[in-house]
């Protein structure tokens, strides 16, 4: 199936070991490259299906990628870890949560649940939700979490009464989730990063397990997702990321060994 690729796509697919950054514009075949690279690594015997991890941002995209890989290999691969960041972290935490003081039976709050908690916190604090939108407050809490900032960080850098209110709602929001044994979507990422930072055994276990890590739509990753990917690739450096720098303010890519860096521009 490699004959279906143009020279640049083929170069990216056949790059096996070491970090790889692929800059690809719309319609240039970036998802095709990831699917073909997965199929090449597995089909040519370089990795078992459960030694490869591919993450993207929607369930639909993940399922489409899985279907394309299985079509190329003419076989189903249920052990292939191909999912969204959040699904990957949820699955991992179901196994490892006790290492960071969580129950494996944690509940995952969706946006409706989250808004309910924020509205109740605002009501308890006598904050008028007609003046301050609960959805806007939730968005700011999510942004703070993705930047790995606590309520104390917000309070310390407060520049307005609104920031102080946000910190109070944030604290109540976290307490409500903790009391209910629940995590929101941002927590799935945060808790996994916390696991890797506090448990070298867990970090090494998954870093050794996933010999090849691939990330689609890398320009959309936040700091927490970057830390997660960096931890998974720290041992082997077999990390391949695909991004469109025209769709991003900044496409982040780092490597501890600059001389091992490879870059392919698909146009």
Q: What is the pLDDT of residues 83-135, one digit of tens each?
A: 999 999 999 999 999 999 999 999 999 999 999 999 999 999 999 988 899 99
**Phi, psi torsion values for 263, nearest 5 degrees:** -140, 135
What is the per-residue pLDDT across 222-260, written as a single tens digit (0 to 9) for each?
Answer: 899 999 999 999 999 999 999 877 665 443 333 333 333
Q: What strands, in cross-sheet order, belong to the sheet with 20-23?
A: 81-84, 52-56, 212-215, 239-243, 20-23, 262-265
pLDDT-based confidence at residue 185 (cuts at 50, 70, 90): very high
Q: Which two tokens stand for residue 101?
A: 């003081």
Cβ-contact 119, 127 below 8 angstroms: no
As beta bridge partners, residue 170 has: none
What is the SS3 assignment for 92? helix
Q: In the block, which residue shows the tokens 């209110």? A: 165
* 11-to-2, 15, 73, 210, 266 alpha-carbon distances in Å: 10, 6, 20, 22, 10
């Amino acid at each position: 199936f490699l004959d279906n690729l143009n020279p640049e796509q083929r170069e990216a697919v056949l790059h096996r070991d070491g970090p790889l950054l692929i800059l690809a514009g719309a319609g240039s075949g970036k998802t095709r490259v990831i699917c073909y690279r997965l199929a090449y690594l597995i089909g040519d015997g370089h990795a078992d299906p459960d030694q490869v991890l591919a993450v993207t941002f929607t369930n639909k995209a993940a399922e489409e990628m899985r279907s394309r890989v299985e079509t190329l290999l003419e076989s189903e691969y249920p052990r292939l870890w191909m999912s969204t960041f959040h699904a990957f972290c949820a699955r991992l935490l179901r196994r490892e949560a006790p290492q960071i003081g969580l129950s494996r039976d944690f509940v995952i709050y969706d946006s409706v649940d989250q808004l309910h908690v924020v509205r109740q916190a605002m009501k308890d604090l006598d904050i008028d939700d007609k003046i301050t939108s609960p959805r806007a407050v939730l968005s700011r809490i999510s942004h703070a979490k993705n930047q790995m900032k606590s309520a104390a960080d917000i309070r310390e850098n407060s520049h307005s009464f609104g920031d102080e209110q946000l910190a109070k709602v944030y604290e109540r929001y976290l307490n409500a989730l903790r009391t209910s044994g629940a995590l929101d979507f941002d927590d799935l990422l945060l808790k996994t990063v916390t696991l890797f930072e506090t448990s070298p055994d867990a970090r090494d276990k998954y870093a050794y397990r996933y010999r090849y890590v691939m990330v689609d739509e890398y320009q959309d990753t936040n700091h927490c997702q970057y830390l997660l990917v960096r931890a998974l690739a720290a041992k082997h450096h077999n990390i391949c990321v695909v991004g469109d720098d025209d769709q991003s303010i900044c496409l982040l890519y780092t490597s501890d060994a600059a001389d091992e860096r490879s870059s392919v521009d698909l146009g």
